[in-house]
Amino acid sequence: MDVEVDHNKYKIYHNKLISLTSCHVLMTALNFKAMKFLIIFIITFSLTSQAQIENGIIKYTAEMNIKHRKDFIEDIKEKDIDMNTKQSVIQMYKNAEPDYYELHFTEDKSYYFKDKSLENEQYNLGSKAGLAPYYYNLTAKQLVEDSRSFGYVAHKPLDWEIANETKMIGDFKCYKATTTETLYSRQGHYYDREVVAWFTPDIPYKYGPKNYVGLPGLVLQVERKEFTITATKINLNPDGDKLKIKRVGKDEKVISHEEMTKRIAEKMKDYNKR
């Protein structure tokens, strides 16, 4: 996918990273353990360019994965529900359109939110990538979801494993990282989702969409069973008045993720009693 980049601001630090390409040639001659060491070296080397990037605005597009859409439609066809409801849900999935998000960041904070200005007036099921904004304070290591139902919810960092696989997203060489995310459904049970993130050390900040943060470079793409989120426009060092970072105040009540799941379970109990 093509990624639009503000090249005038990108070129001020791109030359410092050009030697990374020559490092990649060496990787083909190394064994797996040495390759992983070289990846870490490249990432560490690129951190020296961090001073050149003070802030940024990244635009992402999230789309429902074709396989997930197809599997869900086939599954609901077998459900024992009335035909009108079934057809209505199937049409919602067939007509689902992408969602659009923005990530605004400075050297120590980021804010990820949905761009509502691009929404249609008609109902759109969307990408299934979520509605909630996320605030990340890098210094305090505080990652908070602004949940519409539960208020501010703190998230624990994910445990990433960096692989030796790379690919290009636009002009940026990205490295693959994987993790398993444990989620809690509104039906009252835990389930796991495999997550693949592609991050670039060329933009050496530990930010990304949603709660997919903590890697040694900006996350430009996230792949999950239901959806894929991909960066489509990168604006580095924009004018400061363009940045929108909603902070979580010191006096704001922030609950843990465990507390949120407990509240979901209680709501489901009440609902099932009706």
What are the structural domain ranges in the chain?
4-273
234: enclosing H helix or E strand: strand 227-236
Backbone angles phi, psi at 158, to 5 degrees: -80, 150
Task: Calculate what percentage of the chain has a pLDDT beyond 90.
Answer: 68
pLDDT at 248 > cutoff 60: yes
Cβ contact 27:35 at 8 Å: yes
**What region does 5 belong to: left with phi over 0, alpha with psi -120 to 50, or beta?**
beta
Handedness of CA 217, 221, 227, 233 (dihedral sign): positive
pLDDT at 3 > cutoff 70: yes
Q: Taking residues 147-165, what's their average pLDDT?
A: 96
**DSSP class per residue in 189-233:** -EEEEEEEEEEETTS-----STT---SSSEEEEEE-SSEEEEEEE
Please choose, from the candidates 150, 108, 151, the residue with its C-alpha nearest in 3D space to the C-alpha of residue 252.
Answer: 151
99-146 tens-digit pLDDT: 999 999 999 999 999 998 877 778 899 999 999 999 999 999 999 999
pLDDT at 22 > cutoff 70: no
Number of other CB atoms surrounding residue 157 within 10 Å: 12
d(CA 199, CA 222) in angstroms, rounded, equals 9
45-102 tens-digit pLDDT: 444 444 589 999 999 999 999 999 999 999 999 999 999 999 999 999 999 999 999 9
d(CA 226, CA 63) in angstroms, rounded, equals 9
Number of other CB atoms surrounding residue 183 within 10 Å: 11
